[in-house]
Structure 1
Amino acid sequence: MVKKLGIITLLLLSCLGCGKAGDYVPNVSVNFVMPIDPKLSVLHHNFGAIYIKGYGVAGLILYRRADGTYAAYDACSAYLPQNKCILAIDNPSYTVTDPCSGSKWSLEDGTPVKAPAIKSLKEYQAYTDGYNIFVQN
């Protein structure tokens, strides 16, 4: 009886401990630098957001938080990322939406705010020297 219980516990833990490889946005190298000039003028104000193509898995979403700091997220949906749905910035730009599933995330911290999403957005390090914005991982 103890042996059966141990085998069942081991099987249960192995099933719960691992997700499918496609459950997470893949890790890719990101090294983005751009002057905060007219192209990024939306980031001069809190709650501004912009999509930048060509970086990360599906592009970058840059966002200026309420406290004036910057956030950078991969534009690949964190819900079924293997589908490679590109997030759309909502208006007003406090959230982003996955057009494939209807999931929504907060741009303030990347957390899901509407199902079926349960995982946060993939976030990169974002900072500024006052003239340029830098995004890297």
Structure 2
Amino acid sequence: MRKLLILALLSCCFLSCGKQSEVVPYARVDVTVQINDPRYSLTRVGGYALVQGGVAGVIVYRRSQDAFVAYDRCSSYQPENKCAVNIDEVDIQVVDPCSGSKFLLSDGSPVKAPASRSLRAYIAVSNGFEIHVTN
């Protein structure tokens, strides 16, 4: 009986172990975005900028008058594919074109499967004129 219990526990361990498939790899980020840059829509709440950096690019989003958030564009679902999410302005979400997963722009959380993890968030600090994004 004891051997059977040990075998069952080991089986569970081996079946649950494996590659962490939904972790976006680390990439150094140090980007500054001008709020008034005409290429972006950061002067209004709900505005965003898509800039280079991170694994698949960076999204900077104006969540409120005084708050900005930034995420890696690499989907958290099968991040090894480096599939860059796209903005869906109608629903204030981003969509993974490879899997159909959707994420909220306000906090990066998944709202449509198969993704179960949030987008990788970065630190976004504004001085009123520009946003500095780092990790």
Whether the TM-score (by the shorter chain) exceeds 0.5 is yes
Deviation, 1:8, is 1.9
Q: Which residue of 2 aligns with 1:8?
A: 8
Point out the structure with the larger helix share: 1
Distance (whole Å) between structure 2 residues aligned to residue 92 and residue 68 of structure 1: 22
CA contact (8 A) 2:44 2:65 kept: no
The alignment covers a number of residue pairs equal to 135
Which residue of the other structure, out of 117, 126, 129, is the alignment partner of 2:127?
129
Alignment of 1:1-137 (within 5 A): 1-16=1-16, 18-39=17-38, 41-53=40-52, 55-66=53-64, 68-92=66-90, 94-137=92-135
TM score, norm. by length of structure 1: 0.87
1:4 deviates by 2.6
Deviations 1:26-78 (A, max 9, x none): 0011111132222365111111122112x000110111114631110001111
8 Å contact 1:103–1:116 — kept in the other structure? yes
Pair 46,93 (structure 1): closer, same or farther in 2 beyond 3 Å: farther
CA contact 1:73–1:121 (8 Å) conserved in 2: yes
2:36 and 2:42 in contact (8 A); partners too: no
Shift of 1:6: 2.6
**RMSD in angstroms over aligned alpha carbons?**
1.9
- Tell me the secondary structure at the aligned position of residue 61 of structure 1: strand
Task: Look up the SS of the partner of 2:15 in the other structure.
Answer: helix
Runs ≥4 residues deviating over 4 A:
none
- 1:61·1:74 contact (CA, 8 Å) conserved in 2? yes
Q: Which amino acid aligns with 1:9?
A: L
CA positional deviation for 1:124: 0.5
State the distance in 2 between where 1:5 and 1:102 align.
41
